Amino acid sequence: SQLLEVKAFDARMTSTKDKIVLDVRTSEEYSQGHLSNAVMIDYYQSDFKQRLGKLDKAKPVFVYCAAGARSEGAVQVLKELGFKQIYDLKGGMNAWKKAKMPTVK
């Protein structure tokens, strides 16, 4: 897995056609603004691992949370489940917004 700064994360995400953008925050956080086409799977829910397991392991995963702690945990679970290409947004949504990057509601 790779921990990428905002610009690098965005560039890699933009250049990757077939991908999964994964938001591991809560639905409340998600509704305040998220990345375009992001799938939300709440890190704190008991079925988190089970739901991740239903995603396509062949696709690269771009994961983020609010500040980086939950996405770091999610990366470990994704690795356990057999995902090969995992990109983690350094600083999470906080860094993304600070960089004035676009979000959707």
Which residues are catalytically annotated? 65
Q: Helix H segments across 1-105?
A: 6-15, 27-31, 48-52, 69-80, 92-98
Maximum C-alpha span of the chain: 33
